[in-house]
Amino acid sequence: MEQHRGSIVESRHRGHIVEVDASGAVVRAVGDPDVVVNLRSAMKPFALVALLEAGGIAAFDLSPAEVAVMASSHSGEDAHVRTLQSVMRRAGVSQSLLACGTEGAPLDALTAARLLRDGERPGAIRHQCSGQHASTILLARLKGWSLEDYWRDEHPAQAAVRWAVATAFGVESRDLITAVDECGVLTYAFSLREIARAYALLADPETIMPRDPRAEVARWLLVVRDAMLANPEMVAGSRDRLDTSLVKAAPGRVVSKGGAEALRGIAILGGQRAGRYVGPSGMAIKIDDGDGRRRATHAATVEALRQIGVLDAQGVRLLARYARPSTQDAHGRSASEAVPVFELAPLDEMVG
C-alpha cells in the first residue's frame, strides 16, 4: 500500500494477505502466510462459542442481535448499550461487573461528542469489548461460577473461552500462545494461514466432517455467523465501520471482524464469483506497521475482495470511502489518498 500526495509517494505500508479454502489449503496470497500475529478482537466470534455451547441461548433467551453484539467490537452507540443492558437484566447481572475499562469508549465520534456535551462519562458498557466481556459474565452466571473475577486467566469461564478458541482452530488449549489484551483478558496468537482457516470454518461450518475435532463447535459457529450477517450494525456500528459496511455492500457473502494492530479476518461464503460458483473460504489480512490511521487496512481489504471477485463494481462504489481513503485540505481539495499496489495471486501462478 502506498500513500500518495500529488505525484509523490509519501509512505508505504507493507503487509500480508492469505486466502484459504475450506480444507485450509492456500489459494491466494501476497506476503508471508505464516507470519504469527495476536488475534486480538478477531477472536470474538470464536470466543462466544463458550457461552452458546453451555446453553446460553436457551438459558437467557438470546436474540440474534444479542449474539451479534457479543461477537462484536461495537462503537458504543445507544443501540449497542440498550441491547447489552437488556440481556444482562434478563440474566440478573449488573453492568457494573464489566471489567473491560473505558479506554477509547465510545468509538463512535457523534456519541462521544453527545456524552461530552451532556457531561456524561462513558461507562464500561460503551467500551468496544463489553459484548465479549458480557458473554463471559453470562457464562459464569449460567454455571454458578464467581462473577467479579470472571476476567482472570485462571477463572473457569476463561478456561471455557480457551477451549472454544482452541477447538475452532484445531489445537489443544494447552498449546495456545497467549498474551494479555488491553481490555484485560487473554488473546491468542496464530499464523495468518491458521486465522484464515478458522474464518473459512466460520464461513460455512456445515462443511466440516463429523470426525474433525472442530465439529464440536460447528453448530454454534453457524449461529454466530448468521447473527452477524443479519445484524451488521451490531458487529461494529452505524457510521464508518468497515466490518458493518462490508456486510451491507455484499449481503450474504462475507462476515468481517477486525482486530487491533491492523488485523482482519474475513469469512467468505460460497457463491458466484466472476460467473462461476466458488466454495467458502477464509481470508486474513495484516499490515505490518499496525496502520494507526487505518487507511492501509481498509484499502487492502476492499481491494483484496475486489480482486477475488467477492465485491463487484457496485460493491466497490458503496465502499469508496474505504477503497481509497483520502484526505482533504482546509478548502475541501483532495490532498492525499491510499493506493493499493499489490496483486493477490492464485497459488498456482505463484508456484509457476
Tell me the HSE value of 2 on the side-chain side, using a 13 A CA sphere.
10
Q: Answer positive or negative: Cα dihedral of 208, 211, 212, 218.
A: positive
For residue 270, the tally of other CB atoms under 10 A from its CB is 15
- pLDDT, tens digit, 9 for 90 and up, residues 153-190: 999 999 999 999 999 999 999 999 999 999 999 999 99
More confident residue, 291 or 179: 179
Which CATH number covers residue 289?
A: 3.40.710
Q: Total domain count for the chain?
A: 1
Q: Are 125 and 84 in contact (CB under 8 A)?
A: yes
- What per-residue confidence (pLDDT) applies to 351? 46
**In what helix (H) or strand (E) does residue 338 lie, and over which residues does it extend?**
strand 334-339
Q: Are 282 and 202 in contact (CB under 8 A)?
A: yes
Domain span at residue 76? 2-351
Average pLDDT for residues 327-338, to the nearest whole number? 92
- What per-residue confidence (pLDDT) applies to 347? 73
- pLDDT, tens digit, 9 for 90 and up, residues 106-162: 999 999 999 999 999 999 999 999 999 999 999 999 999 999 999 999 999 999 999
- pLDDT, tens digit, 9 for 90 and up, residues 212-249: 999 999 999 999 999 999 999 999 999 999 999 999 99
Q: Which residues, in sequence order, are CB contacts of 340 under 8 Å at separation 6+?
A: 1, 299, 300, 303, 324
- pLDDT, tens digit, 9 for 90 and up, residues 63-106: 999 999 999 999 999 999 999 999 999 999 999 999 999 999 99
Q: Which residues, in sequence order, are CB contacts of 239 under 8 Å at separation 6+?
A: 75, 108, 109, 110
Does residue 350 carry a pLDDT above 70? no
Average pLDDT for residues 40-50, to the nearest whole number? 98
Whole-angstrom distance, CA of residue 276 vs CA of residue 66: 35
- What per-residue confidence (pLDDT) applies to 348? 61
- What per-residue confidence (pLDDT) applies to 349? 54
- pLDDT, tens digit, 9 for 90 and up, residues 267-280: 999 998 878 999 99
Average pLDDT for residues 24-38, to the nearest whole number? 96
